[in-house]
């Protein structure tokens, strides 16, 4: 078996299972073994009710008291039960699981596993706990079981079974010699793959993850360092000429550019009109005014009868940019001729767009990944702007720049990355920082609360909607999996629960990344038009969405996100003139985690928060959802794994300089694998 083979080579994987794996983008054996667990369940000994602790996922051995009851609330079946032992009683609640009423007769003993919470009067309860027979739980006791992101029809057990067979039959050559592994405290590649999927302890996970993150970072850094060498000193045959159009636009704007915007614009303008190809990263906190700088750069291209393109990470954001530039073009009489190009457009619309781009009739092209397709031919491309760079790989950026000769590259990112990390991550780019915010922005008011404040939080949401404002609610999961008992809220169930809890006149809708682009756009358009009051979403909304009327964000299970990502999410509110609020709801009472969240309470400065994020990382964060939403690494996190990032950068330099020579065959296989990685 080879990792390039299709997963149909796995025993028992037929047409139906292959279709299910395909939904998770798992087509080959390599895809399968690289589909890492999102966390682990450590099955400790089942406790009596009296020994349970609130705010933790625990297992309890208890007897069903009486007969479970069922109620219907706005179309959703809710099952209630009580269970207890000699040490006390607790309540159990399940949503959309009516069959449990018969499966849990009074007097029967079971093991229930879920997040322990305290209700009215101090009585403990669990929502959506998993149910085990006592025998089944004894088999699991003491083990660490992987939890994968699932789709309906796939189970953790099935994925584990397939991964185990693949690992047993694969050859997994290691490109790192023992001397290098020893220097960087790395275990072997095979050992890492086995332990990341089937650990025996938390230490196994730590060591496996460290090795695989190192590989991921090294692949990325070798790419960007090579690109920097190739781009160094790239001359421009036809420098762009300065234009008064940019000065006229700046003067006509209804606001004054901040000092930081003026400084960075001068840097960009000097690059565009110079004789060397620009490769510049503009880092600016949420709301610092990056977009207008991108528009000014594109205007320079139009004024020189050249073309510029802006590639956004999502269709929603691409449409938003297109509409903003179109409005600005009409309002200020700009010479720009913008056009939109996205994957969801019809064949007819795409053909018309291709023709306008090729002829030069369109000189500012705004879109998504569709901009780098072979069918797209630019008449005279001079500038590539990528918005929210962390969503794009180095190769995609390079591919777009290759659509013209001597193309300038401008990267815009709202990700607040400390300079020490930025130098390593963006080694191929000059870095400009927008370190000043517009003066007219009201600072967002923040609070960190536990679930006991949920009723007050919901009442506040209702009051804000009644005042004419809108609300975002963020959940870490799209839908419940087998392990929904881990206390993580999911968009699908939470939307129904929220509809049941809020006033029936409040319009609640769901949004997540599994939806088709057209459906997401429709929901965002409706939210932008004020036709939806509360939008329940995953972090898909973290990138650049602009709805000024949204004044409240409630983040569930906030302790499971990194500070930098929470700050990015918070940037979706506070965009209008009204006071905005962000409520960070924790899923447990962990003091250390809540202390980390307090940083957000006391600061709205993204760069300060990013630096604090570096200081506050710890081994316990291994089991978070995603510590940062920045660069789309499979496992690596630039904050949590900053030490590994630095070490990988050191080795990348040594490999490229020839000071370290890796085994030719194994390293060749490793380099080929870069294509499969999210860089």
How many Cβ atoms sit within 10 Å of the Cβ of residue 252? 12
Q: Which residues pair with residue 78 across a beta bridge?
A: 71, 95
Asked if 493 and 95 touch (Cβ cutoff 8 Å), the reply is yes
User: Residues near 168 by Cβ (< 8 Å), separated by ≥ 6?
Assistant: none
CA gap 524, 544 in Å, rounded: 12
CA gap 362, 353 in Å, rounded: 8
Eight-class DSSP state of 276 = B
Q: Domain 240-274+289-413 class? A: alpha beta
- Phi, psi (deg, nearest 5) at residue 250: -60, -40
CA gap 59, 132 in Å, rounded: 10
CA gap 181, 596 in Å, rounded: 33
| DSSP H/E element including 109 | strand 109-115
Q: Residue 110: helix, strand or coil by DSSP?
A: strand
User: Residues near 333 by Cβ (< 8 Å), separated by ≥ 6?
Assistant: none
Residue with tokens 């190739």: 230
Q: Which of 220, 176, 170 is closest to 197 using CA atoms?
A: 170
Burial of 151 (0-12, 13-18, 19+ CB in 10 A): middle
CA gap 36, 650 in Å, rounded: 26
Q: Residue 596: helix, strand or coil by DSSP?
A: helix
SS3 per residue for 9-58: HCCCCCHHHHHHHHHCCCCEHHHHHCCCCCEEEECCCCECHHHCCCCCEE
| Sheet of 445-449, strands arranged across | 445-449, 581-585, 550-555, 470-474, 534-537, 508-511
CA gap 81, 506 in Å, rounded: 30
Residue with tokens 């499966």: 103
Domain covering 44-142 assigned CATH 2.40.50.140 in the classification:
yes
Q: Can you give the pLDDT at residue 674?
A: 55
Q: Can you give the pLDDT at residue 478?
A: 82
Eight-class DSSP state of 561 = B
**Helices and strands, number each (H, E), in the chain:** 23, 22
CA gap 246, 264 in Å, rounded: 14
Asked if 552 and 463 touch (Cβ cutoff 8 Å), the reply is no
Q: Which of 542, 488, 485, 486 is closest to 511 using CA atoms?
A: 542
CA gap 587, 453 in Å, rounded: 11
Q: How far is CA 608 from CA 287, 345, 559, 602, 604, in A?
A: 16, 41, 19, 11, 8
CA gap 137, 236 in Å, rounded: 68
Q: Which of 44, 23, 30, 55 is closest to 149 using CA atoms?
A: 23
Residues of the chain within CATH 2.40.50.140 domain(s) are: 44-142
Q: Which of 39, 14, 7 is closest to 148 using CA atoms?
A: 39
Summarised one tens digit per residue, pLDDT across range 606-654 is 878 877 776 665 433 444 444 344 456 778 887 788 899 999 999 999 9
Asked if 147 and 41 touch (Cβ cutoff 8 Å), the reply is yes
How many Cβ atoms sit within 10 Å of the Cβ of residue 269? 18
| DSSP H/E element including 124 | strand 124-127
Asked if 240 and 301 touch (Cβ cutoff 8 Å), the reply is yes
User: Residues near 133 by Cβ (< 8 Å), separated by ≥ 6?
Assistant: 110, 111
**Pair of tokens at residue 104:** 């849990």
Q: Residue 502: helix, strand or coil by DSSP?
A: coil
Asked if 345 and 365 touch (Cβ cutoff 8 Å), the reply is no
Domain covering 445-603 assigned CATH 3.30.1240.10 in the classification:
no
CA gap 172, 61 in Å, rounded: 42
Q: Are strands 109-115 and 130-132 parallel, antiparallel or unpaired?
A: antiparallel
Summarised one tens digit per residue, pLDDT across range 30-39 is 999 999 998 8
Residues of the chain within CATH 3.40.50.300 domain(s) are: 240-274+289-413, 445-603
Q: Which residues pair with residue 29 across a beta bridge?
A: none
Q: What are the mean pLDDT values of the chain's consecutive 10-residue runs (679 residues total)?
A: 89 92 92 91 92 91 95 85 95 92 95 90 91 93 89 90 94 91 96 96 94 91 77 77 95 93 96 90 85 96 95 86 95 95 91 95 92 88 79 60 78 76 73 83 88 92 96 87 67 90 93 83 89 92 77 92 85 88 80 72 81 60 41 75 91 91 76 50
Q: Which of 269, 267, 277 is closest to 238 using CA atoms?
A: 277
**Pair of tokens at residue 485:** 């008992």
Q: Can you give the pLDDT at residue 620?
A: 37
Our CA dihedral for 610, 605, 417, 396, rounded to 10 degrees, sits at 130
- Phi, psi (deg, nearest 5) at residue 261: -65, -40
Eight-class DSSP state of 444 = P
Asked if 539 and 474 touch (Cβ cutoff 8 Å), the reply is yes
How many Cβ atoms sit within 10 Å of the Cβ of residue 331? 10
């Amino acid at each position: 078996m080879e990792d390039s083979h299709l997963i149909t080579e796995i025993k028992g994987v037929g047409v139906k299972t292959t279709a299910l794996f395909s939904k998770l983008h798992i087509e080959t054996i390599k895809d399968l073994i690289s589909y890492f667990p999102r966390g682990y369940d450590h099955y400790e000994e089942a406790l009596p009710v009296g020994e349970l602790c609130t705010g933790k996922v625990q297992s309890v051995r208890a007897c069903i008291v009486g007969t479970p009851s069922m109620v219907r609330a706005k179309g959703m079946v809710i099952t209630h039960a009580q269970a207890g032992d000699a040490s006390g009683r607790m309540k159990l609640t399940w949503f959309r699981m009516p069959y449990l009423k018969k499966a849990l007769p009074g007097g029967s003993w079971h093991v229930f596993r879920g997040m322990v919470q305290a209700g009215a009067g101090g009585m403990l309860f669990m929502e959506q706990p998993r149910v085990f027979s006592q025998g089944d739980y004894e088999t699991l006791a003491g083990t660490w079981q992987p939890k994968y992101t699932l789709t309906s029809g796939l189970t953790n057990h099935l994925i584990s079974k397939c991964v185990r067979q693949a690992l047993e039959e694969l050859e997994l050559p290691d490109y790192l010699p023992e001397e290098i592994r020893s220097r960087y405290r790395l275990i072997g590649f095979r050992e890492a793959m086995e332990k990341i999927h089937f650990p025996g302890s938390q230490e196994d996970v730590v060591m496996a993850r460290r090795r695989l993150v190192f590989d991921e970072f090294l692949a990325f850094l070798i790419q960007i360092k090579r690109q920097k060498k190739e781009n160094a000193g790239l001359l421009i045959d036809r420098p762009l000429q300065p234009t008064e159009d940019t000065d006229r636009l700046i003067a006509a704007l209804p606001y004054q550019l901040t000092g930081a915007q003026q400084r960075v614009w001068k840097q960009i303008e000097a690059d565009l009109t110079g004789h060397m190809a620009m490769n510049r990263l503009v880092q600016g906190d949420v709301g610092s005014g990056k977009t207008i700088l991108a528009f000014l750069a594109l205007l320079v291209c139009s004024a020189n009868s050249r073309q510029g393109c802006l590639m956004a990470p999502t269709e929603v954001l691409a449409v938003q940019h297109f509409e903003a530039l179109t409005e600005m073009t009409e309002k200020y009489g700009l010479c720009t001729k913008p056009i939109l190009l996205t994957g969801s457009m019809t064949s007819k619309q795409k053909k018309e767009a291709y023709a306008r781009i090729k002829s030069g009739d369109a000189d500012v092209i705004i879109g998504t990944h569709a901009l780098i397709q072979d069918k797209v031919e630019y008449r005279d491309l001079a500038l590539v702007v990528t918005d929210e760079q962390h969503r794009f790989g180095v190769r995609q950026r390079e591919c777009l720049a290759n659509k013209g000769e001597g193309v300038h590259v401008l990267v815009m990112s709202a990700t607040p990355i400390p300079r020490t990390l930025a130098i390593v991550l963006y080694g191929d780019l000059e870095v400009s920082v927008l370190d000043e915010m517009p003066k007219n922005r009201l600072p967002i008011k923040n609070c960190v609360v536990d679930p006991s404040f949920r009723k007050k939080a919901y009442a506040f949401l209702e009051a804000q909607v009644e005042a004419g404002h809108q609300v975002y609610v963020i959940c870490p999961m799209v839908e419940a999996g087998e392990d929904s008992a881990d206390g993580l809220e999911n968009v699908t169930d939470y939307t129904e629960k929220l509809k049941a809890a809020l006033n029936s006149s409040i319009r609640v809708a769901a949004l997540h990344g599994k939806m088709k682009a057209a459906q997401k756009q429709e929901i965002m358009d409706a939210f932008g038009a004020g036709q939806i009051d509360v939008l329940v979403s995953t972090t898909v909304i973290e990138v650049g969405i602009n709805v000024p009327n949204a004044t409240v964000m409630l983040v569930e299970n906030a302790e499971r996100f990194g500070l930098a990502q929470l700050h990015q999410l918070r940037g979706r509110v506070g965009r209008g003139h009204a006071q905005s609020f962000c409520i960070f709801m924790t899923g447990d009472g962990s003091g250390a985690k809540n202390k980390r969240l307090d940083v957000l309470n006391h600061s709205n400065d993204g760069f300060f928060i990013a630096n604090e994020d570096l200081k506050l990382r710890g081994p316990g964060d291994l089991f978070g959802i995603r510590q940062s939403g920045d660069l789309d690494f499979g496992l690596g996190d630039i904050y949590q794994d900053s030490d590994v990032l630095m070490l990988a950068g050191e080795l990348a330099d040594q490999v490229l300089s020839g000071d370290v020579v890796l085994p030719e065959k194994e390293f060749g296989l490793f380099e080929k694998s870069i294509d499969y990685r999210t860089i």
